[in-house]
């Protein structure tokens, strides 16, 4: 258990936390939220300092932090340097215990015979033989293919290095895992995989994230930093919003009561002279709060208030791709693409990593020439295009107001400063060179420059990667009010759901309208992964079966001849088979009965495994209810807690084993049915 008791922290002369007290227990999944600059990263640095880790030391000004001495911590850093180490080796190094034992076993020159035996025993105890498989599974979940495993870390771009860093962190055998913006460089299918991984993790996770849907799917507590206070809320992000809203409403009621009392005293003392309007003002404030009650409380103090201007000219269609093949070096990645962007278009593009979403975007904006087909744009097209490259090519030496003035001509400084203020560029930040900006500030500045140019088509490729929750909410509201067309690629499900009217799926070289909403896409991805796993297992079984048949044919001459004849028979044998008379109903009935008889044992096995899974899931649900009891984490009940945690680990292993058994049984049944 981690416990903060009346903790106070100051950095650079500024008080970040005061009187912070809370407890976090093993198994908790915690979202760390708060505005930029409130101290979320400092809290991570403090935890790392207390555990003897980290590059930045943070000391306590007051209070006490308690963390078990036996705990290990894994921290996802925000930077990964270039290295000649292979990708798979880099990921495996996240499991420090395995990495050290494996290195020793691969260099036995300085190890005694007795030590070799101990090393092998330790390797077996940590299930070391399965660790490389675990690393490969994590890499696959985060979008890496097997051909990338042996590439050096230095050969990957910054975004992919961050994925490697996340994979390395997930490999750790840590009791506490600190994840800082883990979804920033992931696409939607990788995020959905990560959600599943975090939910299955048995340790304590604290995650900083600006992805509301991700937090809703993974965390059961929110640790919110605000006004030098740290408050622990129970529930996911949506529940936190509701609870915080109720608290704010209660505070507002208390404030109004106090103001009413003051107004009454003023009336009494001054004999109704100057404060007669106080009651009316208070009522006006109450009505204003009622109108805002549907908004997230995060918007109550949101520094962003921009909107998109109404486009000056529009025609239809604005962009049109017809029967277009799109790709690189004469090799199509997408075939026969048909996309029409009209003033009313609100398209969200979906697809797995590498399917071609960004390729399609580049074709739509004219950055990539199509290989065949037709590409047309309207004379009235005024494009607003946002992607990572646009951020990277900002003039590093120029300030926000200098860049905006280049677009605005003779517009007054007062107007320009007011406009930049709506994107929270105020005071010194307006006159600060962009090279000193954070990723979030560069993203906001890029959006500001796009908004100023009054586009009629917005093409946005992952616009939220560096934006915090408040800016994401402001962007969502602004896009909802935009009068032009929108084409959006984003891993932010809330943004897609609130902005897009239609979804297109980019998959297997095709672009098709997706029949469903963003939650249905998550189900589609899960089904695709399930099918791919079944195909992988089925193909490996068929391969081993073929090799077995070949081995038998070498042992017996007759069967070898039979195999050669069947393999070299001309195609007309299949034609003669189609000419065979159809089976009668009686023959079909007998064949079906024989099939049911042959598959009965495997069907029973599937049924029994499903029943076992249901029973285990019930037991796990009961355990989770018990573990939710806060009294269980008192020192006097430590033994009870350990028993329940051990029971939970055993049940989770049984659940995993039964799922694997069920998958194999279903694959076997499919193969048996295919033989008839």
Q: Where are the alpha helices (DSSP H) in 84-126?
A: 87-92, 96-105, 113-125
Is the pTM of the predicted complex or chain greater than 0.75?
A: no
DSSP code string of 280-292: HHHHHHHHHHHHT
SS3 label, residue 253: helix
Task: Kindly list the distances between the CA atom of residue 531 and the CA atoms of 521, 538, 666, in Å, as whole numbers in the listed order.
Answer: 15, 10, 12
The reported pLDDT for the residue numbered 21 is 93
Task: Kindly list the distances between the CA atom of residue 323 and the CA atoms of 367, 375, 419, 440, 512, in Å, as whole numbers in the listed order.
Answer: 18, 9, 42, 38, 13
Q: Which residues are CB-contacts of 131 (< 8 A; sequence separation ≥ 6)?
A: 92, 95, 98, 171
**Residue where one domain finishes, among candidates 145, 167, 189:** 167
Least confident span in 260-269, 441-450, 660-669: 260-269
In a domain, 537, yes or no: no
Provide the pairing of β-strand 221-226 with 229-234: antiparallel
The reported pLDDT for the residue numbered 200 is 92
Q: How confident is the model at residue 565 (pLDDT cuts 50, 70, 90)?
A: very low
In a domain, 14, yes or no: yes
16 and 111 inside one domain: no
In a domain, 571, yes or no: no
For residues 311, 312, 315, 321, the Cα torsion angle rounded to the nearest 10 degrees is -50
Q: And the tokens for 228?
A: 């030098």
The reported pLDDT for the residue numbered 577 is 41
The reported pLDDT for the residue numbered 254 is 54
Q: How confident is the model at residue 527 (pLDDT cuts 50, 70, 90)?
A: confident
Span 367-371, average pLDDT: 93
Q: And the tokens for 196?
A: 């599943």
Higher per-residue confidence, 126 vs 340: 340
Q: Which of 468, 591, 563 is nearest to 210 (CA)?
A: 468
323 and 358 inside one domain: yes
Cα–Cα distance measured from residue 546 to residue 548, given in angstroms and rounded to the nearest whole number: 5
Please check the confidence at residue 585 and state whether its pLDDT lies above 70: no
Span 481-487, average pLDDT: 92
Q: Which residue has the tokens 């042959």?
A: 598
Cα–Cα distance measured from residue 531 to residue 508, given in angstroms and rounded to the nearest whole number: 15
Q: And the tokens for 583?
A: 């089976």
CB-count exposure of residue 646 (10 Å: 0-12, 13-18, 19+): exposed
In a domain, 402, yes or no: yes
Q: How confident is the model at residue 404 (pLDDT cuts 50, 70, 90)?
A: very high
Q: Bin 290: left if φ > 0, else alpha if -120 < ψ < 50, else beta.
A: alpha
SS3 label, residue 465: coil
Q: How confident is the model at residue 645 (pLDDT cuts 50, 70, 90)?
A: confident
Least confident span in 134-138, 237-241, 370-374: 237-241
Number of domains in the chain: 5
Higher per-residue confidence, 263 vs 609: 609
> Percent of the chain, pLDDT > 70?
80
Least confident span in 144-158, 210-224, 632-646: 632-646
Least confident span in 46-50, 239-243, 389-393, 582-586: 582-586
Higher per-residue confidence, 120 vs 82: 120
215 and 260 inside one domain: no
Please check the confidence at residue 360 and state whether its pLDDT lies above 80: yes
Q: And the tokens for 614?
A: 């249901």
In a domain, 544, yes or no: no
255 and 383 inside one domain: no
Please calculate the CA angle 14-20-25 and round it to the nearest 5 degrees.
Answer: 135
**Residue where one domain finishes, among candidates 107, 140, 167:** 167
Q: Which residue has the tokens 């985060």?
A: 142
The reported pLDDT for the residue numbered 277 is 43
Please check the confidence at residue 141 and state whether its pLDDT lies above 60: yes
Least confident span in 43-47, 163-167, 285-289, 359-363: 285-289
| HSE-up of residue 309 (Cα within 13 Å, Cβ side) | 15
Please check the confidence at residue 546 and state whether its pLDDT lies above 90: no
SS3 label, residue 208: strand
Question: 465: domain CATH number?
Answer: 3.40.50.300
SS3 label, residue 47: helix
Q: How confident is the model at residue 5 (pLDDT cuts 50, 70, 90)?
A: very high
SS3 label, residue 328: strand
Q: Which of 267, 268, 235, 227 is nearest to 251 (CA)?
A: 227
Please check the confidence at residue 302 and state whether its pLDDT lies above 70: no
Please check the confidence at residue 28 and state whether its pLDDT lies above 50: yes
Q: Which residue has the tokens 């008080």?
A: 15
**Residue where one domain finishes, among candidates 491, 524, 557:** 524
Cα–Cα distance measured from residue 550 to residue 272, given in angstroms and rounded to the nearest whole number: 104
Span 231-255, average pLDDT: 77
- What are the phi and psi torsion angles at 636 (to 5°)? -70, -20
352 and 447 inside one domain: yes
Span 273-297, average pLDDT: 38
349 and 497 inside one domain: yes
Q: How confident is the model at residue 537 (pLDDT cuts 50, 70, 90)?
A: low
DSSP 312: S
> Which strand ranges, in their side-by-side order, compose the sheet holding 73-76?
73-76, 176-180, 204-208, 29-34, 221-226, 229-234
Instruction: Determine contact, residues 66/151, Cβ cutoff 8 Å.
Output: no
371 and 443 inside one domain: yes
The reported pLDDT for the residue numbered 417 is 93
- What are the phi and psi torsion angles at 328 (to 5°)? -130, 145
Q: How confident is the model at residue 535 (pLDDT cuts 50, 70, 90)?
A: low
Cα–Cα distance measured from residue 118 to residue 99, given in angstroms and rounded to the nearest whole number: 15
Instruction: Determine contact, residues 217/169, Cβ cutoff 8 Å.
Output: no
Cα–Cα distance measured from residue 91 to residue 567, given in angstroms and rounded to the nearest whole number: 44
Q: Which of 456, 400, 453 is nearest to 428 (CA)?
A: 400
Higher per-residue confidence, 340 vs 247: 340
pLDDT one-digit tens code per residue, 418-429: 999 989 898 888
SS3 label, residue 479: helix
DSSP 155: G
Q: How confident is the model at residue 438 (pLDDT cuts 50, 70, 90)?
A: confident
Instruction: Determine contact, residues 76/166, Cβ cutoff 8 Å.
Output: yes
Cα–Cα distance measured from residue 484 to residue 342, given in angstroms and rounded to the nearest whole number: 8
The rounded Cα 262 to chain-centroid distance in angstroms is: 50
367 and 285 inside one domain: no
Provide the pairing of β-strand 457-461 with 485-489: parallel
Which structural domain range is residue 279 located in? 249-299
**What's the farthest any 2 CA atoms get from each other in the chain?**
118
In a domain, 254, yes or no: yes
Please check the confidence at residue 574 and state whether its pLDDT lies above 60: no
Helix, strand, coil percent values for the chain (each to nearest 5): 55, 15, 30
In a domain, 532, yes or no: no
Higher per-residue confidence, 142 vs 584: 142
Least confident span in 98-102, 156-160, 322-326: 156-160
Span 653-667, average pLDDT: 76
Span 599-619, average pLDDT: 84
Q: How confident is the model at residue 605 (pLDDT cuts 50, 70, 90)?
A: confident
Please check the confidence at residue 550 and state whether its pLDDT lies above 50: no
The reported pLDDT for the residue numbered 583 is 58
Instruction: Determine contact, residues 479/458, Cβ cutoff 8 Å.
Output: yes
Cα–Cα distance measured from residue 425 to residue 404, given in angstroms and rounded to the nearest whole number: 12
SS3 label, residue 380: coil
Span 400-427, average pLDDT: 91
Q: Which residues are CB-contacts of 427 (< 8 A; sequence separation ≥ 6)?
A: none
What are the strands, taking DSSP E only, across 51-203? 62-66, 73-76, 176-180
Q: Which of 137, 260, 231, 135 is nearest to 193 (CA)?
A: 137
Q: Which residues are CB-contacts of 151 (< 8 A; sequence separation ≥ 6)?
A: 86, 87
Residue 441 neighbours by CB distance under 10 Å: 20
Span 451-473, average pLDDT: 89
361 and 502 inside one domain: yes
Please check the confidence at residue 607 and state whether its pLDDT lies above 90: no
The reported pLDDT for the residue numbered 248 is 65
In a domain, 489, yes or no: yes
The reported pLDDT for the residue numbered 548 is 34
Please calculate the CA angle 588-675-607 and round it to the nearest 5 degrees.
Answer: 90
> Percent of the chain, pLDDT > 90?
34
Summary mean pLDDT of the chain: 80
54 and 149 inside one domain: no
420 and 442 inside one domain: yes
pLDDT one-digit tens code per residue, 144-202: 888 899 999 888 877 888 899 999 999 999 999 999 889 888 888 889 999 999 999 99
Please check the confidence at residue 592 and state whether its pLDDT lies above 80: no
The reported pLDDT for the residue numbered 655 is 79
90 and 220 inside one domain: no
């Amino acid at each position: 258990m981690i416990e903060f008791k009346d903790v106070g922290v100051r950095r650079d002369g500024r008080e970040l936390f005061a009187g912070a007290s809370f407890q976090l227990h093993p198994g908790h999944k915690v979202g760390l939220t708060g505005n930029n600059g409130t101290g979320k990263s400092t809290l991570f640095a403090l935890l790392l300092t207390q555990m003897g880790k980290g590059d930045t030391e943070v000391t306590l000004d007051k209070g006490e932090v308690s963390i078990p001495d036996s705990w290990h911590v894994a921290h996802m850093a925000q930077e990964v340097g270039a290295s000649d180490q292979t990708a798979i080796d880099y990921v495996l190094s996240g499991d420090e215990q395995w990495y050290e034992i494996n290195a020793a076993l691969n260099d036995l020159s300085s190890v005694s015979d007795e030590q070799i035996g101990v090393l092998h025993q330790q390797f077996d105890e940590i299930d070391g033989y399965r660790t490389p498989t675990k690393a490969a599974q994590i890499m696959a979940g985060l979008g890496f293919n097997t051909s990338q495993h042996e590439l050096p870390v230095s050969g990957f771009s910054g975004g992919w290095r961050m994925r490697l860093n996340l994979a390395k962190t997930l490999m750790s055998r840590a009791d506490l895992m600190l994840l800082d913006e883990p979804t920033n460089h992931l696409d939607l299918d990788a995020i959905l995989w990560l959600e599943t991984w975090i939910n299955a993790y048995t340790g304590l996770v604290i995650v900083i994230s600006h992805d509301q849907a991700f937090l809703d799917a993974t965390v059961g507590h929110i640790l919110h930093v605000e006004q030098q206070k740290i408050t622990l809320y129970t529930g996911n992000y949506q529940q936190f919003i509701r609870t915080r809203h109720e608290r704010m409403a209660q505070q507002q009621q208390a404030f109004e009561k106090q103001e009413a009392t003051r107004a009454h005293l003023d009336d009494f003392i001054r004999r109704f002279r100057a404060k007669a309007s106080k009651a009316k003002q208070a009522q006006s404030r109450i009505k204003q709060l009622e109108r805002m009650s549907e908004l997230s409380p995060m918007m109550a103090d949101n520094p962003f208030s921009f909107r998109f201007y109404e486009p000056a000219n529009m025609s239809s269609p604005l962009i049109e791709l017809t029967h277009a093949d799109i790709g690189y070096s004469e090799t199509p990645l997408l075939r026969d693409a048909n996309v029409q962007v009209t003033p009313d278009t609100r398209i969200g593009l979906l697809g797995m990593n590498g399917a071609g979403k960004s390729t399609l975007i580049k074709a739509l904006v004219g950055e990539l020439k199509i290989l065949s087909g037709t590409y047309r744009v309207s004379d009235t097209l005024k494009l607003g295009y946002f992607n990572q490259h646009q951020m990277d090519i900002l003039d590093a030496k120029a300030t926000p107001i200098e860049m905006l003035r280049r677009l605005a001509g003779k517009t007054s400084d007062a107007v320009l400063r007011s406009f930049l203020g709506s994107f929270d560029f105020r005071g010194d930040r307006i006159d600060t060179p962009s090279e000193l900006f954070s990723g979030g500030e560069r993203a906001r500045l890029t959006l500001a420059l796009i908004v100023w140019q009054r586009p009629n088509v917005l093409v946005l490729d992952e616009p939220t990667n560096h934006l915090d929750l408040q800016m994401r909410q402001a962007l969502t509201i602004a896009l909802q009010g935009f009068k032009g067309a929108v084409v959006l690629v984003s891993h932010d499900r809330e943004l897609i759901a609130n902005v897009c009217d239609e979804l297109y799926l980019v998959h297997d070289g095709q672009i098709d309208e997706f029949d469903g909403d963003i939650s249905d896409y998550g189900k589609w991805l899960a089904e695709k992964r399930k099918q791919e796993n079944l195909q992988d297992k089925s193909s490996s079984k068929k391969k081993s079966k073929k090799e077995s048949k070949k081995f038998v044919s070498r042992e017996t001459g007759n069967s070898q001849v039979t195999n050669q004849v069947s393999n070299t028979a001309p195609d007309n044998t299949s034609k003669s088979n189609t000419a065979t008379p159809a089976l009668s109903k009686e023959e079909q009935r007998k064949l079906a009965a024989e099939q049911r008889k042959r598959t009965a044992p495997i069907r029973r096995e599937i049924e029994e495994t499903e029943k076992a899974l249901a029973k285990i899931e019930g037991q796990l649900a009961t355990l989770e209810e018990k573990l939710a009891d806060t009294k269980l984490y008192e020192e006097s009940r430590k033994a009870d807690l350990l028993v329940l945690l051990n029971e939970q680990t055993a049940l989770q292993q049984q659940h995993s084993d039964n799922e694997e058994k069920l998958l194999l049984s279903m694959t076997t049944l499919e193969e048996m049915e295919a033989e008839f």
